[in-house]
Structure 1
Amino acid sequence: MSVKTPQALRDATTESKQAGENGRVVYEQFILFGDSITEGDGNPELGFSCYQALQHDYKRRIDIVNRGFSGYNTSNALAVLPRIFPTPQQGPVRLVTLFFGANDASLPDTTGQHIPLTTYTTNLRLLIQHPAITSHSGVRILLITPPPIDEWGFDGWDEPGRSARTAGVARAYAEAVRHVGEETGVAVVDLWGKCMAEAGWTDDDTGKDSKLLLPGNKKLERSEALARLLYDGEF
């Protein structure tokens, strides 16, 4: 265990950008906002954690805040955002990740989480433009596509013979995130594409009108790559 010297304590305070009321140090923040995939980031049993890696890389400089909410879709996110996001005075936000879609993409009349694709894209734009976020000067936003679906991973989760999530629908919601990013100029992490590349799939394999099945579809043999990457069928 290391003991900070008075000089080290002074250094720690000068690394912050602002001072709050009564001289209290206010650190800038990165906020990771998403569903259960974000909430579960940091579980040591699941291997690499982006949340923990950021905490390590930005220690004593920026607070990394996990605001993952299991089961949430983009409509839930819009409802809760004003209540969980700090004001610039409470803590200036430098970066916010928006990682929703896995629940939105559930099929209608299954889990109760489904959000139609057009509403999903509208919700993403509303999140990007929300005053709770844009009130932070210079804040950067990062969109993350929902991951692929390994339909095999949902054995025991869904009703017998009925799946609440499919590989093809997951692709459509990932494409919607990329389109919103292009329209708004917001950076996008194409998690869906990266995972599918690990499964050996490329954009040349299936066009938008192709009837070829995607890796993860239960009509194909199970993809070992997706089974490894998607621990519960969807990440």
Structure 2
Amino acid sequence: MTKLHPHAPDRACSAMSTTTAQSLSHATSNDTTQRSVYPQFIFFGDSITQFDGNPSLGFSCIGALRYDYARRIDIVSRGFGGYNTSNALAVLPKFFPAPQATRVRLVTIFFGANDACLPNTTGQHVSLEQFKFNLHKLLSHPCIVAHRDVRVLLITPPPVDEWQFDNWEEPGKSARKAVIAQAYARAVVEVGVESETAVVDLWSACMREIGWDEGEELPGDRTVEKSALSQLLVDGLHLTGEGYVVLCKEMNKVIAREYPDLVPERIPFAL
């Protein structure tokens, strides 16, 4: 991202007709208008964040939010395929903007799908205890808390559908289990309670979407029948367009409930 000096003179960013340029030449020569810097929402996560926007999926949560917040907020996607929370702690200082560059108003932390891999499979496993510790470290990271009144949304990993892993190659084919994904999703909710941070419970939202009730056999588990999770997961792990619709609806609901000052209508145009 190009850093803009807060007192840089305003310059036209599109071509003007000769007549218009001449008529404005005197005014712009003495223009001391400050350049506007758009506040940001930063979407930080793994491949589920990185793949949000794939045209073949038909719907993008990030794309929808960019439309909703047009002229108000820059929606910045920082998705890193294959990353777990330990990787996230290492990479965050390398891209997160300083308060002098822009104001970050919201950050999403959307990890867990890789942390939940079984030990001795893909090398991505992070124990449940360490996973929660890493999330707390991300929430209190100096790069994030340096921004005035920054808000954070924790997002749980979605369910997994073991039936769809048949097309995967080993070790990924055997690395994830439905019940383990559920445990890591619950851990995110626990961290939200412990840190008083808002949580987008994508796991539960997906389960509601397919009509699952607590106490029933767990959809996605290979020991039970195939479920409607295939409508929400393109390959057993990553979201389909319909899955991103569920994410977007849940995110909008949580923002409206927990951070009502961040709904689009309450944020003024930057320009």
Name structure 2 gaps, 5 residues minimum. 9-33, 240-271
Q: Which residue, 38, 51, 59 being the options, matches 1:27?
A: 38
Q: Which residue, 209, 212, 219 being the options, matches 1:215?
A: 219
2: CA distance between counterparts of 1:199 and 1:167? Answer: 15
Cα distance change on mapping 1:186 and 1:73 into 2, 3 Å: same
Q: Is the 8 A contact 1:158 1:164 kept in 2?
A: no
Q: CA deviation at 1:89?
A: 1.0
Instruction: In structure 2, give the amino acid aligned to 1:216.
Output: G
1: CA distance between counterparts of 2:107 and 2:130? Answer: 21
Alignment pair present for 1:227 and 2:230: yes
Q: Is the 8 A contact 1:150 1:226 kept in 2?
A: yes
2: CA distance between counterparts of 1:161 and 1:118? Answer: 22
Alignment pair present for 1:53 and 2:64: yes
Q: CA deviation at 1:134?
A: 0.4
Instruction: In structure 2, give the amino acid aligned to 1:77.
Output: A
Cα distance change on mapping 1:161 and 1:113 into 2, 3 Å: closer
CA RMSD of aligned residues (A): 1.8
Q: Is the 8 A contact 2:166 2:173 kept in 1?
A: no
2: CA distance between counterparts of 1:182 and 1:52? Answer: 29
- Scaled by the length of structure 2, the TM-score of the pair is 0.74
Alignment pair present for 1:132 and 2:132: no
Specify the alignment match of 2:15 in structure 1. none
Instruction: In structure 2, give the amino acid aligned to 1:219.
Output: T
Q: CA deviation at 1:68?
A: 0.3
2: CA distance between counterparts of 1:112 and 1:88? Answer: 35
More strand by share: 1
Specify the alignment match of 1:65 in structure 2. 76
Name structure 1 gaps, 5 residues minimum. 1-17, 207-212
Which region of structure 1 is more displaced relative to structure 2, 55-64 or 158-167?
A: 158-167
Instruction: In structure 2, give the amino acid aligned to 1:201.
Output: W
Instruction: In structure 2, give the amino acid aligned to 1:232.
Output: D
Instruction: In structure 2, give the amino acid aligned to 1:227.
Output: S
Alignment pair present for 1:173 and 2:159: no
Give the length in aligned residue pairs: 210
What CA deviation, in whole Å up to 9, does each residue of 1:111-169 have, x standing for no partner?
11110000000000000000100000011100000000100111121438961100000
Q: Equivalences for 1:113-128 in 2 at 5 Å?
A: 113-128=124-139
Regions of 4+ moved over 3 Å: none
Specify the alignment match of 2:196 in structure 1. 185
Q: Is the 8 A contact 2:122 2:172 kept in 1?
A: no
**Which structure has the larger Rg?**
2
What CA deviation, in whole Å up to 9, does each residue of 1:42-68 have, x standing for no partner?
112112211001111111221110000
What CA deviation, in whole Å up to 9, does each residue of 1:166-211 have, x standing for no partner?
00000000000000001111000110011112233222x15xxxxx
What CA deviation, in whole Å up to 9, does each residue of 1:84-123 have, x standing for no partner?
1000111110000000000000111111111000000000
- Scaled by the length of structure 1, the TM-score of the pair is 0.85
2: CA distance between counterparts of 1:161 and 1:56? Answer: 35
Cα distance change on mapping 1:21 and 1:215 into 2, 3 Å: same
1:98 match: secondary structure: strand
